[in-house]
Each structure stands twice: as C-alpha cells, then as structure tokens.
Structure 1
C-alpha cells in the first residue's frame, strides 16, 4: 500500500477530504504539520522529518498548505521540499511551482514570458512611483497584496487622493505596492482546475450583490462550467509555465477588449467549492494521480 504524507497547516475540511479519499483509494495518508518539519545532515540518515516521520521514505508528499512564519522559517520549509525532490521523492506541487505561484508578480512574469494574456500590472516600492503608475494605468486600479489568496486584501482605487493615501500607507509598512489595471468584467470569473496537463473540472464564480470580487470565500456563488478549448488551453499552459502538476487557474473576461486574461495560478488550490459545484471528487483524483506517479 502506498504511503503519502500531506504537509498541512491545521486540520480543516481539505485535510479531512484527503483522508476520506485516501481510504477510498486504499492508500495510507499521514497528515503532518508543516511547522514540525526538521532536517538532519551528516547524522541520523541525513533525512527530512515531520512529526517523527521520515519524509524520505514516503511514496509521495503533498503540499496542502504552508502556515505563516518568519522569512527564515518559510525559506527552510522550501529548502526541505527541495531536499526531498533531489532525493527522488515526488513532491506535489514541486517547490519551484509553490515558490512561483505564491508570488503574484513572479506568476504573471512567467505567464507573460510564455506569451499568455495577463492584465497590465505594476509592482514597486515607493508611493511616488506608484502614483505615476496609477495614472499610466488609467487612474483605476486594483491594489493587491503580493502574497495572498481568496480575494483577501484587494482594494479598488479610482481616485488620486485615495491612491496617494493607500500607496503611502503600504510604503510605510515596508510592503511591495502591487497595482493592476481595473478590468471591467461581466460579474463573474472562471476557475479551472488543472491536473497533470488536463482540465479536471471548472466553475464559474459570480460576485454577490454589491461586490466586484468573485471569490467564494467572501460570498461569491459557484456553478459548474464546461470549459471551451481556448480556456482549457490557457489553463494548461499557465500551469506548465509555473511548473505545477496541479493548479487552480483563474481567468477573467475583459468586457471592453473582448478577451480573456489570466489573473492567477494557485499551486496550493482549494477545491471545496469546485467539488460541490461539479460533483467531481478532486481529492481522489489528486491521490490517484500521485499514486500513479509513485510507481
């Protein structure tokens, strides 16, 4: 029986769903806290462990969620994943993909290099330069945290005075200022779940009344959606661009330009809303694919 480890931050719905699917798939899955990862070099077998379990002995490791931490802690956790990958342990998603997808700027730069359509975006460190970029982007932008998910921390800024206050606040915090041209969309976006080079499932997320953000975590409504060839191709190539074996890829429709744009690739995607909307057992599909890769 294959034995996998899932590196987790807490034991919420997704971990329970993976454990349920593991029983059905006849695989052993150990949910281990990412914060407990440690590594030895030159003694004790030069191994990476978590919760007393040697991850080098696993048939595969799933990165479910990384807990918050200091820069050193996060870097070490990624180092441990790189060590496992170098030792031949299948790590999903690979550490390079996790590193790329967690960083919105790096994600978009990789997508652009592949010739994929992305929104006009500016990232910098000073409020003065951000004001100039705000005006160059048409005076209507979405301000995003460089690291973040589920629509948290997004703000639409349409007025120069508000922009001045917002950008100076971010500058004082020592954070990067990430601006993206406001895209007029039809009130919904598209989430496609890619697994090993194919779209496993897709949904349309519609914003609730009075809200422009479509994320289900903040009240958006999810419904199953059958992706067309263009959307599927964009999603698959986007996942490849960041090196992800599986990913949640988000597309938005630009009403004014009549085109679709890639706005995010999530290498640690959730699937609760997707599974509910489509009826597809995403957790079982991930474990079955990992089991195949481990053979």
Structure 2
C-alpha cells in the first residue's frame, strides 16, 4: 500500500468480550488504531468496485485485518466469510492469517491430509460419512479412539470412546446430525504436550500438563510452563507453517513416550494468554509490530 502519515488502521475480527482484542488494543497504543469487527456483520456490495463492511466500511479504510475468532456457522456462512476476506486481500488489505491458509487450517481433515502428505508424523486417522464405516474404523483403531469435530478448537466437542457400544451410539448420533465422523487412534502419552507458537520467524514453546484429564487444553484446566523447543521440533514447526501458508500458528506436538513426537494439529487462530504468562513474552505486541511492519 502507499505510504501513510496517519497511524495504521487495523481491524480485529473478534467476539464482543474478547480478551485478545483488548490485549491487541493495549499493545497497539501509539503504533496503530485497532478496532473490533464482527464476523456476523460482514457484508459485501458489488456493482463496480466491491465494498466490504462489517458495520463500518473496511474496503479502502483499513490497512490490515487480524482474524481472532472463527465463530460457528453454516457452510454458506463460512464460505462467504472466507471469500470476503479474500476480496479484502485482493484490494490490498493485509489479512492475518491469509484467507486460503485459514481455509486449510480450520478444517482438521484438510490440515492433517496436507501435513501427512508432507511427511509429518500424525495420528492414524479415519474420516467417514456413515456409522457403519465408522464402526469398521473403530475396530481397526480401537479399543480407544478420539472423536473430534472437523471444525472447532480449544478441545470443544472432543471425546474419547473406549467401547464398541458407546462408539455405536456416538457414530449414529453424528450421522443423524449430518456430521462427518472424524476419529483418531488414541495415543498414550505422559500427561503433557508441547504447544509451539510460531509468528513468522519467531517461536515460543510451552508445556501443557494435565493430571486429571487426557486433554491438555488450558481451557480444560491444564497448566502451562515454558518449555525449550527441541531442534527437531523447531524444524518441523517451521516446515508445517510453510506447508499451510500460515503467518501465525499454534502447533501441538504430542510425545510418544519413546523419544518421538506426533504433530496433532495446527491452529490458525491460536490463543496466547497462557503462553504469554508462561513464557513472559508480550505476544500481542509482537503481533502488532509484525502487522505494522508489513503494512
């Protein structure tokens, strides 16, 4: 974009009560004007040059947009939101993360498919559309599997299934709801995983530990401590972000108990509240500096 004398104007697609929006607003003081935008208010007007707004005009008025939430919606709503962000990108607005990368990363199946094809070690995963096929997969992957929604984060909607009877009920219910059935072989682990947050050429690591839950999400009560990133994991993190085309990402690595690691998933809208506290780093300030430097 052309040089500007005013402060850069950055829109943040975030929930009304978002801690992350407030953190970015704090970090941007004196560097940029930061305003909250609502995904649900996104709209487009086409007839000549396309104009996109979200209660306030974005096209031609904002220099960058940071995506800080990905609210649930119908397939049409999700597709339109990504299309609108892509249109803003074509207009010269910096979008973080890039829309095409967001499309890949919010889809667990597509993400895992790309990572597996690129040679990363991922959990054995089956994706089915009928409960009968899912039961066949359960027989192959069981007796303990993890069932996940293809879209979702922070551990929402994830459950562990450890019996054929429960699997039968869960898979039938998911099919009746029109859901794709996504199940992974449960990987025994020592009660922790490694979250690596990557922002362009920087990365930070934290260990997420849980004594009472097989899930290590902080939202489910896990604790966070700073953790050195092993060189092989740092290399994998860089390659994974590059494969998905992400600028900022949270990557979850799970130890196999034998010195190796699985790459579980990549989060294109990563939280940093716990990591900032654990690692004593101002991630919001780092992100604002990055965005302002790219405008």
The alignment partner of 1:262 has SS state of strand
CA distance in 2, matches of 1:258, 1:129: 34
1:29 and 2:34 aligned = yes
Does residue 58 of structure 2 align to residue 47 of structure 1? no
Length-normalised TM-score, structure 1: 0.94
1:68 & 1:176 partners in 2: Cα distance?
Answer: 16
Residue 127 of structure 1 deviates from its aligned partner by 0.9
CA distance in structure 2 between the partners assigned to 1:46 and 1:215 by the alignment? 40
Q: May I ask how many residue pairs the two structures share in their alignment? A: 289
Q: 2: distance between equivalents of 1:189 and 1:121?
A: 19
Aligned counterpart for 1:71 among listed residues 70, 75, 78: 75
Match of 1:132 in 2: 136
**1:280 matched to which residue of 2?**
281
TM superposition shift of 1:233: 1.2
Contact 1:141 1:156 in 2 (8 A): yes
8 Å CA contact retained: 1:123, 1:178: yes
Instruction: Tell me the residue number matched to 2:125.
Output: 121
Shift of 1:58: 1.8
The residue that corresponds to 1:220 in the other structure is 222
Q: Is the 8 A contact 2:250 2:270 kept in 1?
A: yes
8 Å Cα contact 1:9-1:66 kept in structure 2: no
Deviation of 1:35 (Å): 1.4
* Among candidates 238, 241, 260, match of residue 239 of structure 1: 241
Question: What is aligned with 1:181?
Answer: 185
By how many angstroms is 1:55 displaced?
Answer: 3.5
Q: Deviations over 1:25-63 (max 9, x none)?
A: 5211111112111111125x4221122223333221111
Report the TM-score, using the length of structure 2 for normalisation: 0.94
Give how far 1:265 is off. Answer: 0.4
The corresponding residue for 1:165 is 169
Contact 1:17 1:283 in 2 (8 A): yes
Shift of 1:3: 1.4
Q: In the TM superposition, what is the alpha-carbon distance from 1:140 to its structure 2 partner?
A: 1.8
> For residues 58 and 12 of structure 1, what CA distance do their matches in structure 2 show?
20
Counterpart for residue 17 of structure 1 = 23
RMSD, aligned α-carbons: 1.4
Structure 2: gaps (5+ residues): 1-6
